[in-house]
Structure 1
Amino acid sequence: MSEILDNSFAFSTPRLVFKKVLAQSQSEGDGIVVRKGIGSSELKNLDPFVLLYHFSVSPPGGFQDHPHRGFESVTYMLEGGITHQDFAGHKGTIRAGDIQWMTVGRGIIHSEMPAEANNNALQLWINLSANDKMIEPKYKEVPSEKIVTAEKEGVEVKVIAGKAMGVDSAVYTRTPIMFLDFSMIPGTELHQSIPESWNSFAYIIEGEGVFGSQNSSPIVAHHVIVFTQGDGLSVWNKSSKPLRFLLIGGQPLNEPIAQQGPFVMNTQSEIDQTIQDYQNRTNGFEMRLNCISQ
């Protein structure tokens, strides 16, 4: 992959805006406000992605002990901190700019509780292939200072996964993806290559931008933008304020998806088996009684 920041660059098949969805703010549980970008009725999933949450949480609220199976999740802190604890004894706190990459695999039960008064984060669920759904769970916490960055002509990128501006992330992803956090000052543009077979979308954190074509209408914060297929995406910040957005893409698994709450499998019978495993404390959920809520 390569990218160039000048007006002469053009992709052979540029990605254009296919669909945009406003992630509406809604309360969910005690002290939690969520914007659901993927996983809503307007955008149920985008293979290999099954969920995108932009959430804020304040004490005493939080995500108490709950189970998962069948996917990977990326939690990206924007403000404050979240303390994670699971039934296998793993505990850690990520703070603004940090990443937690969790491979749920065959089963995990954990809690995610606010570490400060104001806590704001994004969480992305990435589906696992049928062959990988029952692997052992694992975690990788990446502090902000370990996330590689690059900057050119008023455009800065934090490379959480994948490659941009000639730098590569050190994070390995079982399902191949890119996860890029771009910031653009007014009057700048960028051109980012994307593998042609991948699905891709952007989520605007702040500001407004023109995506895909210079003639497109600006799109404002909290929209998820799904792009057509192509070999790259162009973005312009024609406004008077900074633009910040995530650009995320991934290789489709092209497998059936069966999702029920915190479980993501391929068939309903596998979902039924997962629920039975959880209730019976078997096949990955043996340590259920060891959960400790914060």
Structure 2
Amino acid sequence: MNAIVQTLSAPVVGAGRSVVFRTRGHAHGPVVRMVSPSDVGQMIKPFVFLDLIDTQHAIGQQGYGWHPHSGIATLTLLMDGQCHYAESTDHEGTMEAGDIEWMSAGRGVWHTGFGIPPIKAFQLWIALPAERELAPAFSHHLSVNEIPSDGPVRVLLGRSGEAVSPINAPSGINYFVVELKAGQRWTYQPPQGYRVGWIAVMDGSLHTPEPVDKGELAVFDHSDAAIEFEATADVRFVLGTAIPHPHDLHLGSYSVHTSSAALMEGECEIARIGSELRAKGVLR
């Protein structure tokens, strides 16, 4: 896998991947729901959910109170601001700008969080493979200085060149945050078989070769060909590529599993944890 960066004035004219779908999502207060498991997530699984948060207001318990998950992992990328999170595993912490927090829900977990503005963040859900969807929950917080880089890329999951994320994520998934200056070009060659590809732009704009602007998510055609980018303004975006998730998605209110039996087991576990949290007075 190669990442090539150039700064040139000519337009992008290569024959890389094309955009087959784009959306600006649906706003819910300060949160824009760009991907859900029942819509775009069907196109780009194992990536099944993406929220974009860009707000000058605090995000508190009303927006991100205690809630459960099973069968998925969440990856929170805090680009600007500060937030605090807590989990039913007794893991909690504070995130600063540039940090990420990976939470593998497995068979079940509850979590909560609040943010101090201005806040810019992405929260991603990944559908776990069958061998992980009912495993014990765990999480991993990386500070901005612990995230490996390869040129304009910070490797949140997977690898780019020699830069390898230390997060114990499922194989076959790459997830990067990329920053390019206006006029800068970058070409990304996914590994063989990584036929799922998409980007979401937090700031600025780019050509790929079609224009993609701030607040847009674009899905690429289903192949593992190279993806070409040229920044038309200083830009920050996330890029996900992966081997396609081979299972139908079995959906609960907060859960995604590979089978109805696994979904039932996960939902029973999150109900059990919820009862424990209520007994402790954490939930009302």
Please point out which of 207, 211, 223 is paired with 1:210.
Answer: 207
Please point out which of 243, 253, 269 is paired with 1:251.
Answer: 243
- TM-fit CA distance, 1:267: 3.3
- TM-fit CA distance, 1:59: 5.0
1:82-231 alignment, distance < 5 Å: 82-114=83-115, 116-151=116-151, 156-164=152-160, 166-198=162-194, 199-211=196-208, 213=209, 216=210, 218-228=211-221, 229-231=223-225
- TM-fit CA distance, 1:26: 2.6
CA contact (8 A) 1:86 1:109 kept: yes
**SS at 1:4 equivalent:** strand
| Residue deviations 1:198-218 (CA, integer Å, cap 9, x gap) | 21111111111111x4xx3x1
RMSD: 2.6
Residue type of the partner of 2:23?
V
Q: Which runs of 5+ in 2 are unaligned?
A: none
- TM-fit CA distance, 1:285: 6.1
CA contact (8 A) 2:37 2:48 kept: no
Number of paired residues? 271
- TM-fit CA distance, 1:292: 2.9
- TM-fit CA distance, 1:252: 1.8
- Output the CA distance in 1 between the equivalents of 2:77 and 2:215: 16
- TM-fit CA distance, 1:269: 4.9
Shift in alpha-carbon separation, 1:141–1:276, aligned structure 2, 3 A: closer
CA contact (8 A) 2:101 2:139 kept: yes
- Output the CA distance in 2 between the equivalents of 1:111 and 1:77: 15
Shift in alpha-carbon separation, 1:231–1:268, aligned structure 2, 3 A: same
Please point out which of 43, 47, 50 is paired with 2:48.
Answer: 50
Residue type of the partner of 1:64?
G
**SS at 1:145 equivalent:** helix
- Bigger helix share: 2
Residue type of the partner of 1:26?
H
User: Normalised by the size of structure 2, how large is the TM-score?
Assistant: 0.85
Instruction: Quote the residue 2:27 is aligned against.
Output: 25
Residue type of the partner of 2:21?
K
- TM-fit CA distance, 1:24: 3.5
- Output the CA distance in 1 between the equivalents of 2:148 and 2:198: 21
- Aligned-pair identity (%): 20
CA contact (8 A) 2:77 2:98 kept: yes
- Output the CA distance in 1 between the equivalents of 2:190 and 2:253: 31
- Output the CA distance in 2 between the equivalents of 1:277 and 1:165: 39
| Residue deviations 1:28-62 (CA, integer Å, cap 9, x gap) | xxxxx211121176524321111011125615444
CA contact (8 A) 2:72 2:104 kept: yes
- TM-fit CA distance, 1:278: 3.7
- TM-fit CA distance, 1:110: 1.6
- Output the CA distance in 1 between the equivalents of 2:274 and 2:132: 17
- Output the CA distance in 2 between the equivalents of 1:81 and 1:180: 20
- TM-fit CA distance, 1:64: 1.1
Of 131-140 and 84-93, more deviation after overlay is shown by 84-93
Instruction: Quote the residue 1:30 is aligned against.
Output: none
Instruction: Quote the residue 1:233 is aligned against.
Output: 227
| Residue deviations 1:182-212 (CA, integer Å, cap 9, x gap) | 111121111111024221111111111111x
Shift in alpha-carbon separation, 1:232–1:258, aligned structure 2, 3 A: same
- TM-fit CA distance, 1:119: 2.9
| Residue deviations 1:202-247 (CA, integer Å, cap 9, x gap) | 1111111111x4xx3x12111111111133211112x3x2122111
